[in-house]
Amino acid sequence: MVDRYVSDPIDLPERDAGAGYFRADLVFYDVDHSGPSYEALVFLNAPDADAATPRDDEHYAGSFKIFGHGSCFGDVGHCDVPTGPRDPFDLRPPHHLVPASKTVVVTEAFKRLVAPGDETMTVTVVAVTPGDGPNDVLKFDRVRLLTYS
């Protein structure tokens, strides 16, 4: 787990000349929420952004919050996430620690920072925990840009 993530350059979708974007989302897949609670601040094209970067910075795009589960207090195996496919007739809700997906609407920052002709952009995510807790809580599998014309 880390306190800061900087993506490799993300390819931007091709678009026709003069066509704009109606909406832009960043989707974070398999977000771990087994540790402490935190807020993940999202910045576009700002690889040096950190927890001290203000939210009124032009590169700030939004955030998502994780209500973490903290330590496991259950019986042995209680916090072990099952692997493999579930039986299609299993009506129980998913295990409480199955990784989550989070979507951040970044339309305004995307329109402000991505100029016509740009081919890539970067995403920086900074984890901030409440109080004096450690910030090394950020863990997800991948991030994806979705745009709508």
98-131, pLDDT tens digit by residue?
788 999 999 999 999 988 788 999 999 999 998 8
Interval 4-11 mean pLDDT:
95
Task: Answer with the residue of higher pLDDT: 15 or 66.
Answer: 66
Contact 9, 120 (CB under 8 A): yes
Tell me the one-letter amino acid at 45: N
Q: Answer yes or no: is pLDDT of 61 > 90.
A: yes
Interval 46-74 mean pLDDT:
89
Q: Mean pLDDT highest for which of 53-67, 79-93, 111-125? A: 53-67
Q: How far is the C-alpha of 55 from the C-alpha of 62, rounded, in Å?
A: 8
Interval 26-53 mean pLDDT:
93
Confidence of residue 94 (pLDDT cuts 50, 70, 90): confident
Contact 42, 61 (CB under 8 A): yes
Q: How far is the C-alpha of 7 from the C-alpha of 122, rounded, in Å?
A: 6
Q: Give me the phi and psi of 79, to 5 degrees please.
A: -100, 10
Give the pLDDT confidence score for residue 92 in this predicted structure. Answer: 81
Structure tokens at 38: 């935190």
Q: How far is the C-alpha of 65 from the C-alpha of 39, rounded, in Å?
A: 4
Share of the chain above pLDDT 70, in %: 91
pLDDT, mean over the chain: 87
